[in-house]
């Protein structure tokens, strides 16, 4: 880890978790690992915060939890997206895209050309 990790921006974690679960049900460790692998450790996600986010989204009805067996045959708590969660992912993802595009338009020295 040569590069310094980036602090996570407010609300970012939710969309990352939702996106991860869009692949299919997963347990907390799986979600954490997936995010870490995809970002190559660029984002610093505290696991405690991740679990709290899971609880929060559960209460909002975006995800559901169920006990199941892991790949190693251990009892694990699996989370999966609800229909409501899928909808939430779609809106949040598009919000993020528009946000990032807008920021790039300002940062890019030659307007009109996307990097």
Closest CB to another protein among residues 29, 104:
29
Q: Can you read off the two tokens belonging to residue 112?
A: 């009109």
**Is 34 a binder of another protein (CB under 8 A)?**
no
Applying CB under 8 A, which part among 12-20, 63-71, 93-101, 104-112 lies near another protein? 63-71
Cβ at position 102, least distance to another protein in Å: 29
Rounded to a whole number of angstroms, the distance between the first and last alpha carbons of the chain is 26
Cα separation, 59 vs 96, whole angstroms: 23
Q: Can you read off the two tokens belonging to residue 70?
A: 């892991």
Cβ at position 85, least distance to another protein in Å: 10
């Amino acid at each position: 880890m040569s590069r310094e990790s980036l602090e996570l921006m407010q609300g970012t974690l939710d969309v990352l978790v939702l996106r991860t679960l869009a692949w299919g049900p997963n347990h907390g460790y799986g979600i954490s690992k997936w995010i870490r692998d995809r970002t190559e450790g660029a984002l610093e996600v505290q696991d405690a915060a991740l679990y709290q986010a899971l609880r929060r989204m559960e209460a909002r009805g975006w995800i559901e939890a169920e006990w199941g067996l892991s790949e190693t045959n251990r009892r694990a708590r699996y989370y999966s997206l609800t229909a409501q969660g899928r909808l939430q992912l779609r809106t949040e993802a598009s919000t993020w895209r528009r946000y990032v595009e807008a920021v790039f338009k300002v940062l890019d020295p030659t307007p009109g050309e996307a990097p």
